[in-house]
Structure 1
Amino acid sequence: MKQLALFVSISFTLSAFAFNQPTIPLNWTTQYACAVDVPSRILANVVTTQYTDNMPASCIQRCDAAGFSYAGVEYSNECHCGTGLVGTPASAPVSDCNMTCTGDPTLSCGGSWRIQIYKSPALPPGWWGLQGCYLDTPDSPTFGSPIAHHTIDTNLDPINQCVPYCAHIGYPWFGVENGTDCQCSFGLAPGAQLRSQDECTSICPPPPGEGNENCGGFQRMLAYRFRPF
């Protein structure tokens, strides 16, 4: 009978940590399955908010929408948004992140001074270099598998909208076309055709009071590539 009681006790302890795997949206990745947090916080420029529906996916979505590149869940209801890490966090056993999420009790949301950390695909600090003017047609595209992003804010030119958009989602190439269009990609398409710079002279819609800037042309794309500092 004592052996049976011991088996039941052990089984209950193990099952207490048998949480489901969380959904990680927006191409974010798990940076630390469980890490030690400290009173000064291990996320840089951290903003901490308590939510009754807290879970990894909702915390990531909130941090991403606010422009942060790191997210963490802790103490069940805490969502931490930050711009980076302060030093190298100390890893903790996954079993230390044993508190259920307020938004889904089948998921873990850290523990007491234990945090689960997630990172966005956003590019690190760097610069964008012009690669040239390219033909961009259905039969001869500039980019391989581009993500199209049509600009809508008339107070910003396409380049000033395209750079942060592509950088935030982790794409190291962007292009502007026909004065108003922005595309993001991981690289040039096979056989991409470089054309004369004179073919990319459509003027970007400039913000009030600013000068003119070229934004490609009809079926002509000015392509830029990211380089880290």
Structure 2
Amino acid sequence: MAAFSLTLVLLVLSLAHSARSFHTQTIPLNWTTVSTCAIDNPARIIAGDITTQATANTPAACVESCAAQGFGYAGVEFGNECHCGSGLVGTLQNAPASDCNMACSGNGNFSCGGAWRIQVYSFPALRPGSWAYQGCIADSLAAPAFTSSTTHTFSTNLDLVNQCLQACSQAGATFAAVEDAGVCQCSGSAPVPAAQKVAETACNSLCPLPGNAGFEFCGGVNALGVYKLVG
């Protein structure tokens, strides 16, 4: 009987926790909410994921931390986890908002994801179409990553990734890539099979974001940050 009572109490507490309502926090720095609740996994859905555990974690605090480090994506998970990265590894699989039912370690009025449930944020607010980050790929004159591509340069590298994705969208390309914080390549086909994926640290060139949003990674020297149109 005692075991049954304990089970009942735990069930009631679990239901009460899952039914808890949270306030919506204003996201700073002109960032936007990509997903109010998405399914994460041990391989991580944010490309180049850097995870920190913070006692003062909230969506706003995580976004500010990621932006200050030059990342363009942020996510909160499991109450105290802040995830920073340079893109998404594929199309997000959304979960019910009620799955993101863990209070933020920094302010219990807000939700910060759940168990393998993550709230995802990004800058800029609107990217053209649905582009998924494919990774950092080696590129050189001797061994180009694409067999056929068009090169675009812009008057400024401010918000370069977004400029590149817009240019490639307008050109009808299915792949876009940024290199060394100044060059954009658009291609209608995937990188050649011989193209080598390299460590994310090779794509360490930084481009400024508008306002006070910080910086984002824009490829590197002989290294492309590659995006694929997925929707």
What's the counterpart of residue 32 of structure 1? 35
> How far, CA to CA, are the matches of 1:81 and 1:99 in structure 2?
19
What's the counterpart of residue 92 of structure 1? 95
User: Aligned runs of 1:1-229 on 2, under 5 Å?
Assistant: 13=16, 16-121=19-124, 127-129=153-155, 164-165=207-208, 168-169=209-210
What's the counterpart of residue 182 of structure 1? none
Contact 2:30–2:125 (CA under 8 A) maintained in structure 1: no
Change (3 A) 1:122 1:106: closer
Change (3 A) 1:93 1:123: closer
Contact 1:69–1:122 (CA under 8 A) maintained in structure 2: no
> How far, CA to CA, are the matches of 1:58 and 1:126 in structure 2?
35
Change (3 A) 1:27 1:16: same
Which TM-score applies when normalising by structure 2? 0.50
Which TM-score applies when normalising by structure 1? 0.51
> How far, CA to CA, are the matches of 1:14 and 1:60 in structure 2?
25
Deviations 1:88-124 (A, max 9, x none): 1210000000000000001000000000000011898
> How far, CA to CA, are the matches of 2:49 and 2:112 in structure 1?
17
Q: What SS class does the counterpart of residue 81 from structure 1 fall into?
A: strand
Larger Rg: 1
> How far, CA to CA, are the matches of 1:46 and 1:123 in structure 2?
21
1:18: how far off?
1.2
Q: What SS class does the counterpart of residue 71 from structure 2 fall into?
A: coil
> How far, CA to CA, are the matches of 2:52 and 2:17 in structure 1?
30
> How far, CA to CA, are the matches of 1:41 and 1:15 in structure 2?
24
Q: What SS class does the counterpart of residue 117 from structure 1 fall into?
A: strand
Contact 1:122–1:169 (CA under 8 A) maintained in structure 2: no
> How far, CA to CA, are the matches of 1:112 and 1:97 in structure 2?
8
Among the aligned pairs, what percent are the same residue?
A: 54
Which runs of 5 or more residues in structure 2 are unaligned? 1-11, 128-150, 157-181, 183-205, 212-231
RMSD of equivalent CA atoms? 3.0
> How far, CA to CA, are the matches of 2:86 and 2:126 in structure 1?
12
Contact 1:30–1:118 (CA under 8 A) maintained in structure 2: yes
> How far, CA to CA, are the matches of 2:52 and 2:152 in structure 1?
30
Change (3 A) 1:123 1:108: closer
> How far, CA to CA, are the matches of 2:123 and 2:83 in structure 1?
14
> How far, CA to CA, are the matches of 2:153 and 2:91 in structure 1?
26
Q: What SS class does the counterpart of residue 31 from structure 1 fall into?
A: strand
